[in-house]
């Protein structure tokens, strides 16, 4: 396996940050993992990278970047109601979505056009427009970098939460996911909890939307409010939507009529981080080549020459403003390296 040295990571992260990694290895075959790991010194820092759409590099990386490029999509089992699809961790996420749409398998159509790879999906427990990865997750396989052995995780072992999992906490950079298996429905399973999706269906006068129509609507909504990372450097949502107590929510609602919240089973309310940022006056604000995107305050963008430290400093100032105005601490959704 070829290991590149002193390589620029600019094309490997969607922010377009030009930092260098001491080493970079592109992994396209899980059978090569043991060979790769055995070639490394024991104390070599490691960072596993998929599509680079959820990472902010703030400095050169003095270790090895393992670029997960394992491919392959196949049906491994099915019955009259469900199909089990196994995908290589390096497969582009939207490529997998398109495969399921082509075959009329329901469950991830609302997750259309989310950037990144399949292997990153369970790490982040990706979600959008009423769907969440954990609802269709069956199992995954990967390599324990500490014990040097392959291991499988079923749903109960993954500790899925809002935009998190065991792979983002205890097993962060200690477990290399090689494949993910999803359980999808062969029967129509519309999820229309997101009002703009329903509004678009009504506008188009679609009485019974197909899976491909739902995906197309989702893609159009995303394109209308989120910048294309191929044209404008970004990593999607920079912060998580915070959860606050019912008491704090009602207090804020009394002051801000336009605040919307979604109550969970613990009587806490999830509110929009984008709304908080916008209320603090950051939407569309630009400092140098860093800005809060004009159409979605939650997305921070790089207009070309911003460094990772520039973006981090900008984000920290946003957090400070939100804390001072609302007494709410925003938590980063992306990985900061």
Q: Is 333 a catalytic residue?
A: yes
Report the alpha-carbon distance of residue 295 to residue 71 in Å, rounded. Answer: 34
Report the alpha-carbon distance of residue 88 to residue 138 in Å, rounded. Answer: 14
CB 37 within 8 A of CB 146: no
Hey, how many other C-beta atoms are within 10 angstroms of the C-beta on 172? 14
Report the alpha-carbon distance of residue 283 to residue 298 in Å, rounded. Answer: 8
- Residue 287 to residues 106, 226, 255, 294, 319, Cα–Cα distance (Å): 43, 20, 30, 13, 16
Task: Give the active site residue among 87, 112, 179, 237.
Answer: 237
Q: Is 223 a catalytic residue?
A: no
| 101: Cα separation from own chain's centroid | 20
Tokens of residue 227, six digits: 């910048």
Helices (H) and strands (E) in the chain, counts: 8, 20
Q: Locate the DSSP E strands across the chain.
A: 3-8, 20-27, 45-49, 55-56, 61-68, 73-78, 82-88, 127-128, 131-132, 137-144, 149-154, 175-185, 233-237, 243-244, 261-263, 269-271, 286-287, 290-292, 299-302, 335-336
Report the alpha-carbon distance of residue 316 to residue 287 in Å, rounded. Answer: 13
Task: Give the active site residue among 163, 165, 243, 292.
Answer: 163
Q: Is 203 a catalytic residue?
A: no
Task: Give the active site residue among 132, 200, 243, 333.
Answer: 333
Residue numbers annotated as active site: 163, 237, 333
């Amino acid at each position: 396996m070829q290991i590149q040295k002193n390589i620029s990571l600019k094309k490997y992260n969607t922010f377009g940050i030009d930092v260098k990694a001491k080493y970079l290895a592109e992994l396209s075959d899980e059978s090569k993992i043991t060979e790769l790991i055995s070639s490394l010194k024991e104390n070599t820092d490691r960072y596993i990278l998929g599509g680079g759409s959820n990472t902010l590099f703030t400095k050169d990386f003095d270790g090895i970047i393992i670029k997960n490029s394992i491919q392959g999509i196949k049906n491994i089992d099915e019955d009259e109601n469900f199909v089990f699809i196994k995908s290589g961790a390096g497969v582009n996420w939207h490529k997998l979505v398109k495969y399921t749409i082509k075959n009329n398998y329901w469950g991830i159509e609302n997750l259309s056009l989310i950037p990144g790879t399949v292997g990153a999906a369970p790490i982040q427990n990706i979600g959008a427009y009423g769907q969440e990865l954990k609802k269709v997750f069956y199992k995954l396989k990967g390599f324990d970098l500490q014990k040097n052995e392959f291991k499988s995780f079923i749903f109960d072992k993954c500790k899925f939460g809002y935009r998190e999992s065991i792979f983002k906490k205890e097993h962060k950079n200690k477990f290399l996911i090689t494949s993910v298996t999803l359980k999808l429905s062969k029967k129509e399973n519309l999820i229309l909890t997101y009002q703009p999706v329903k509004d678009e269906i009504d506008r188009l006068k679609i009485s019974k939307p197909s899976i491909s129509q739902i995906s197309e609507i989702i893609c159009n909504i995303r394109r209308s409010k989120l910048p294309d990372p191929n044209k404008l450097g970004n990593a999607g949502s920079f912060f998580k939507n915070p959860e606050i107590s019912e008491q704090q929510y009602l207090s804020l609602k009394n002051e801000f009529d336009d605040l919307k919240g979604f109550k969970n089973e613990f009587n806490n309310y999830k509110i929009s981080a984008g709304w908080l940022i916008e209320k603090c006056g950051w939407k569309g604000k630009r400092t140098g080549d860093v800005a809060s995107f004009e159409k979605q305050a939650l997305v921070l963008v790089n207009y070309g020459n911003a460094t990772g430290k520039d973006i981090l400093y900008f984000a920290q100032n946003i957090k400070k403003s939100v804390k001072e105005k609302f007494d709410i601490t925003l938590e980063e959704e992306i990985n900061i390296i």
